[in-house]
């Protein structure tokens, strides 16, 4: 009979005692189980004992844990060695939720807080006390806001001390980070007591753990500050060359970047870019003299680079008319550009970007504006409209104005490589947009399509996390419109599973059969015949002739025809050319009837449709020349003649037909596997059995 499911066999051991193997009935109260175990060892007061896992997490199995009382009693012992062992044991057991509840309920946090505040030992004992305190607080049973101001100030002192044990300061910084993030009031205390210069000192030591915790506290202080305070703090840090130090000594350090540091750099990047949010959400004020002057400076940089006044000697109305026309040329949708910049986002951030581009890349700015404003073929790229939409696009890609993720690590080293990184990124992106516009031969109606391509170019390049702006420029310019289309096609095929190795193998097996089908179709088309036009010496296509392949595929039959008459039967055609006499197939400029006829547009069109077959006529080489009525007929006839000659069919039409047939046949064969993932590799074939004695002998009759 099988034992009940709630009964398990476990081994119980105790120091200086013989281990027991007991049957533990999980339905019994834990106190009864403990009494049975203690009775087996002749121990009294079973309520003073607890069960603990001997391996792994070493958690207690207890309903009323008195081990906590014993450990907390050890904290008050005057023997330093015993206190150290007690703290080590406490650190080991603190992650256990049950044990933590018992410790906290017995004022364990207060006892640890006393050790930390007294600071009698600034070495290992203090580090162990801080670690145990943090482990207990991490359970969330006690709020960080309950900590006393003297306690927080004492921890701040440990952070600000110059000569301090290397194991203490990272723990003190970690504690202050939790305080800052959880309690605004205590966070203000930490901000006032811990100077930024002190955090810079911790960041510049070659201790990765200390750097990480200092960066954590720094980002916590920045997150707790108001927008104005955050800007002042970041400006001060940048003046103290923090950005350069992060870029050279943390991002490009010889030691690998940890996940925690990567997260804090992501937060710092988000806070840096978040300073742009106020400009992004502020519309242009048409009554602001400063903003009107900025718009005029933008116009003058494009059309009055020498600083000449607009329309000197003209009336006020004439000057306003010229100014409105130049704003239109600049790419604004309205003659009053303030109306374009009233939209938020991007608000004033778009104007900031345009001004930065005009001042820091004046030649590129002038070239962009003048090149497009002078075009009359409706293919001009509007600078202002593009800049406004591009600013919106960059804000979306960089998540400006969105709250920071608690786990993300996707910072970009490029934003720590130089000052004004967002505006510099805009300068590269606006030139990329102009380049993509030309590659797509876009017009105003294609504006949204161009922006979609530019979004993809920027997103793909940002995902590579280039280490500098120059590297970003190189990579994004190496991703032209044609490459974006190719990547889209490849990804679509991957999503459909077309490029999975098993499907590629299936397609290769299907190709010979489908190529045979295409060859058969080409020969049938030749048998149907086609009406061709003859080219006279004056380049006039005024005569018609008909050519077809005999049903047995051995003879080409052809002859002249009158326009408007019905196609003749093969037997009525007077001329014949045996397929066996054909020596070669010529196309394009190699054909004798279009060779050396000049290079005009009409001749180029004929080159694409011309083909000839060479054959022996007595002792001379003769030609049968064709001008196909269309590109499709050209492909069909050249494929068919190649098949007759035993040559491969390499036309574009054959490639398209083969791809279509392969796609259809593959989908038909995989209908029953819809929504079933296809593995990259076939499952392994199991090894053969050690013997084959399992075969059933059918000749033996059963009794």
Confidence grade of residue 703 (pLDDT, cut at 50, 70, 90): low
Task: Say what percent of the chain tops pLDDT 70.
Answer: 89
Count of CB atoms within 10 A of residue 187's CB? Answer: 22
Maximum separation of any 2 CA atoms in the chain, in Å: 125
The answer to whether the beta carbons of residues 355 and 430 sit under 8 Å apart is no
What gap in Å lies between CA 415 and CA 596, rounded to an integer? 60
The pLDDT value given to residue 405: 87
Q: Three-state SS for 680?
A: coil
Digit-coded pLDDT (tens) for 441-454:
888 889 999 999 99
Query: How deeply is 139 buried, as exposed, middle or buried, from its count of CB atoms within 10 A (0-12, 13-18, 19+)?
Result: middle
What gap in Å lies between CA 282 and CA 276, rounded to an integer? 10
Digit-coded pLDDT (tens) for 590-649:
888 877 555 555 566 777 889 999 998 877 888 999 999 899 999 999 999 999 999 999
Digit-coded pLDDT (tens) for 556-574:
999 988 877 888 888 888 8
Compute the Cα dihedral for 452, 456, 459, 462 and give only its sign: negative
Count of CB atoms within 10 A of residue 290's CB? Answer: 7
What gap in Å lies between CA 277 and CA 181, rounded to an integer? 22
The full 3-state SS of 334-386, as one line of letters, equals CCCHHHHHHCCCCCHHHHHHHHHHHHHCHHHHHHHHHHHHCCCCCCCCCHHHH
The pLDDT value given to residue 102: 82
The pLDDT value given to residue 64: 40
CATH class for the domain made up of 516-657: mainly beta
Would you give the DSSP letter of residue 662?
H
Residue 660 CA neighbour count, 13 Å, CB half: 8
Digit-coded pLDDT (tens) for 334-387:
778 888 888 888 899 999 999 999 999 999 999 998 888 776 667 788 999 999
| pTM of the predicted model over 0.85 | no
Beta strands in 78-123 (DSSP E): none
The answer to whether the beta carbons of residues 217 and 229 sit under 8 Å apart is no
Mean pLDDT of all residues in 50-58: 73
């Amino acid at each position: 009979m099988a034992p009940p499911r709630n009964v398990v066999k476990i081994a119980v051991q105790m120091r200086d005692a013989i281990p027991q193997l007991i049957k533990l009935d999980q339905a019994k109260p834990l106190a009864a189980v403990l009494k049975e175990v203690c009775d087996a060892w002749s121990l009294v007061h079973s309520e003073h004992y607890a069960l603990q896992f001997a391996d792994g997490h070493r958690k207690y199995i207890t309903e009323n844990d008195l081990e906590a009382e014993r450990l907390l009693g050890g904290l008050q012992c005057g023997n330093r060695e015993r206190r150290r062992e007690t703290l080590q044991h406490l650190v080991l057991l603190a992650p256990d939720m049950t044990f933590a509840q018992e410790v906290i309920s017995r004022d364990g946090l207060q006892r640890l807080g006393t050790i930390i505040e007294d600071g009698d030992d600034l070495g290992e004992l203090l580090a162990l006390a801080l670690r145990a305190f943090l482990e207990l607080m991490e359970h969330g049973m006690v709020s960080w806001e309950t900590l006393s101001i003297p306690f927080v100030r004492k921890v701040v002192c440990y952070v600000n001390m110059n000569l301090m044990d290397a194991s203490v300061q990272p723990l003190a910084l970690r504690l202050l980070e939790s305080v800052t993030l959880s309690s605004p009031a205590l966070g203000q205390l930490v901000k006032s007591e811990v100077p930024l210069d002190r955090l810079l000192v911790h960041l510049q030591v070659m201790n990765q753990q200390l750097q990480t915790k200092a960066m954590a506290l720094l980002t916590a202080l920045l997150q707790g500050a108001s927008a104005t305070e955050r800007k002042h703090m970041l400006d001060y840090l940048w003046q103290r060359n923090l950005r350069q130090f992060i870029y050279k000594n943390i991002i490009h350090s010889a030691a690998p970047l940890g996940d925690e540091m990567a997260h804090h750099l992501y937060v710092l990047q988000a806070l840096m870019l978040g300073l742009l949010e106020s400009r992004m959400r502020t519309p242009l004020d048409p009554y602001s003299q400063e903003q009107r002057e900025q718009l005029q400076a933008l116009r003058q940089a494009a059309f009055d680079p020498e600083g000449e006044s607009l329309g000197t000697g003209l009336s006020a109305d004439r000057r306003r008319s010229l100014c409105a026309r130049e704003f239109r040329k600049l790419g604004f949708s309205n003659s009053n550009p303030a109306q374009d910049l009233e939209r938020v986002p991007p608000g004033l951030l778009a104007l900031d970007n345009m001004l930065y581009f005009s001042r820091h890349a004046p030649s590129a700015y002038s070239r962009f504006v003048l090149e497009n404003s002078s075009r009359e073929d409706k293919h001009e790229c509007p600078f202002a409209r593009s800049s406004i939409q591009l600013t919106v696009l960059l804000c979306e890609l960089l998540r400006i104005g969105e709250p920071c993720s608690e786990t993300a690590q996707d910072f970009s080293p490029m934003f720590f490589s130089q000052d004004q990184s967002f505006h510099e990124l805009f300068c590269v992106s606006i030139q990329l947009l102009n380049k993509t516009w030309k590659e797509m031969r876009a017009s105003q109606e294609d504006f949204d399509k161009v922006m979609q391509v530019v979004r993809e170019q920027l997103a793909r390049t940002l995902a590579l996390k280039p280490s500098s702006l120059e590297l970003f420029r190189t990579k994004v310019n190496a991703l032209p419109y044609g490459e974006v289309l190719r990547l889209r096609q490849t990804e679509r095929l991957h999503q459909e599973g077309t490029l999975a190795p098993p499907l590629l193998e299936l397609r290769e097996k299907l190709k010979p059969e489908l190529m045979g089908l295409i060859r058969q179709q080409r020969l049938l088309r030749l048998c149907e015949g086609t009406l061709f036009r003859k080219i006279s010496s004056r380049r006039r296509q005024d005569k018609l002739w008909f050519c077809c392949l005999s049903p047995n595929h051995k003879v080409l039959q052809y002859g002249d025809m009158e326009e408007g008459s019905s196609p003749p039967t093969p037997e009525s055609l007077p001329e014949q050319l045996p397929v066996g006499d054909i020596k070669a197939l010529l196309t394009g400029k190699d054909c004798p009837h279009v060779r050396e006829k000049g290079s005009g547009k009409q001749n180029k069109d004929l080159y694409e449709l011309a083909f000839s077959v060479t054959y022996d006529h007595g002792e001379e080489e003769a030609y049968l020349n064709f001008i196909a009525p269309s590109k499709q007929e050209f492909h069909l006839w050249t494929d068919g003649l190649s098949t007759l000659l035993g040559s491969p069919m390499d036309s574009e039409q054959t490639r398209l037909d083969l791809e279509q047939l392969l796609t259809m046949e593959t989908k038909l064969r995989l209908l029953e596997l819809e929504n079933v993932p296809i593995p990259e590799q076939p499952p392994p074939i199991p090894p053969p059995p050690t013997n084959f004695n399992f075969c059933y002998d059918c000749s033996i009759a059963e009794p």
